[in-house]
C-alpha cells in the first residue's frame, strides 16, 4: 500500500461532511481539519503504512480513533485550573511547529539538538498542547506549568521490559499512555538506570510511545540500537527522531551510528 492508497482508506473511514482532507504527496502527510474551527491534525502516512503491513486494518482503525478523539475535543473549551494533575511534558522533534495554525505560540523548551519539550493538558483519550493564549486567559506563568509537568512525569509508573542481544541489554518503556518518550525527563529514573548499567548508556525516543535504554557492551550493540530505533521511528504514530543519544553525567548527546562506527553529532 502506498501513501495515496492509505490516504483514501483513512478518508473513507472518517467520511464527514464537516471535515476537510488534504493529502500532501511531497511530505507524505494527511491534514484533517474541522471546516468551522479550522483546527485539525496532521498525520505522517509512512508510519501508518509500516504498521498496516503488520496489523492490517487494526492500524487504520487505531489512527481513525485517534483523529476522531482529537478533532472532537477541539470543540470543547479547556481550562488549566483544577487540572494540575493532568499536565504533562511531551517530546517532539525540532521540526515540530512552534505555534498553532492560528499563529498562537506553543509553550515549549529546547531539549537536545534533535528534540523539544512541549506541554500538554491530558484529556483522557487524547491531549491538547498548551499555548500561550491559554496561559494568558488563566493568568498562569510558564514556570508554573513546567514545574507541574516535570513533577507529574516523575510520578508516572515506569514498567521496564528487558531484552539481550549479543551481550548487550536493551530496556523498553512502552505503556502506550502517550508519555513513554516523556519519561526521558524523569531524571531520578535515568540515574537509577545508570547505576544498573555496566557499559555505555544510550537512549532513544523514536516515537512518543517508547523509550529505549541500552547497556552497550560492544560494537554490535550500537548496530542493534540503530536498527531498532529506525524500525520504531518508521512505525510510530508520532515519530520523534531516528537518532540515539549518549547519556553521560546527566546530559544527552545525539550520536550517529553508521555500520560498526558511531560518532557524536
**What is the residue extent of each domain of the chain?**
3-73, 84-155, 160-264
The rounded mean pLDDT for the chain is 90
d(CA 120, CA 129) in angstroms, rounded, equals 4
Q: What is the mean pLDDT of residues 204-229?
A: 95
List the alpha helices (DSSP H) in 56-207: 57-73, 132-138, 142-155, 187-196
Which contacts (CB < 8 Å, 24+ apart) does range 162-165 have?
A: 165/220, 165/221, 165/224
Cell triple for 104: 498562537
Q: What is the mean pLDDT of residues 4-20?
A: 89
Which residues, 6+ apart, have CB-to-CB distance to 130 below 8 Å? 80, 87, 106, 107, 118, 119, 120, 121, 145
What's the pTM? Answer: 0.78
Q: What is the mean pLDDT of residues 92-107?
A: 91
- Residue 132 is predicted with a pLDDT of 94
- Residue 50 is predicted with a pLDDT of 85
pLDDT of 261 higher than 70: no
pLDDT band at 37 (very low <50, low <70, confident <90, very high): confident
- Per residue in 51-73, pLDDT tens? 888 888 888 988 888 888 778 77
Q: Which residue has the cell 506553543?
A: 106
pLDDT of 144 higher than 60: yes
Amino acid at each position: 500500500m502506498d501513501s495515496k492508497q492509505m490516504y483514501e482508506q483513512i478518508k473513507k473511514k472518517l467520511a464527514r461532511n464537516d471535515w476537510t482532507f488534504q493529502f500532501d504527496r511531497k511530505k507524505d502527510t494527511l491534514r484533517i481539519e474541522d471546516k468551522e474551527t479550522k483546527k485539525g491534525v496532521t498525520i505522517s502516512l509512512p508510519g501508518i503504512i509500516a504498521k498496516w503491513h503488520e496489523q492490517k486494518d487494526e492500524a487504520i482503525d487505531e489512527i481513525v480513533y485517534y483523529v476522531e478523539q482529537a478533532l472532537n475535543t477541539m470543540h470543547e473549551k479547556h481550562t488549566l485550573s483544577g487540572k494540575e494533575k493532568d499536565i504533562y511534558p511531551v517530546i517532539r522533534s525540532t521540526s515540530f511547529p512552534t505555534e498553532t495554525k492560528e499563529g498562537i505560540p506553543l509553550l515549549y523548551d529546547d531539549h537536545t539538538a534533535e528534540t523539544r519539550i512541549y506541554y500538554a493538558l491530558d484529556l483522557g483519550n487524547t491531549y491538547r498542547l498548551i499555548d500561550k493564549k491559554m496561559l494568558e486567559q488563566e493568568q498562569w506563568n510558564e514556570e508554573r506549568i513546567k514545574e507541574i509537568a516535570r513533577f507529574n512525569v516523575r510520578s508516572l509508573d515506569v514498567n521496564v521490559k528487558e531484552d539481550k542481544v549479543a551481550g548487550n541489554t536493551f530496556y523498553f518503556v512502552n505503556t502506550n499512555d502517550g508519555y513513554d518518550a516523556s519519561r526521558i525527563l524523569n531524571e531520578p529514573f535515568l540515574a537509577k538506570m545508570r547505576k544498573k548499567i555496566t557499559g555505555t548508556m544510550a537512549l532513544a525516543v523514536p516515537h512518543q510511545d517508547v523509550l529505549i535504554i541500552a547497556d552497550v557492551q560492544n560494537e554490535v550493540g550500537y548496530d542493534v540500537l540503530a536498527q531498532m530505533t529506525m524500525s520504531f521511528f518508521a512505525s510510530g504514530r508520532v515519530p520523534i527522531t531516528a537518532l540515539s543519544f549518549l547519556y553521560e553525567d546527566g546530559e544527552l548527546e545525539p550520536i550517529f551510528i553508521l555500520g560498526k562506527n558511531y560518532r557524536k553529532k
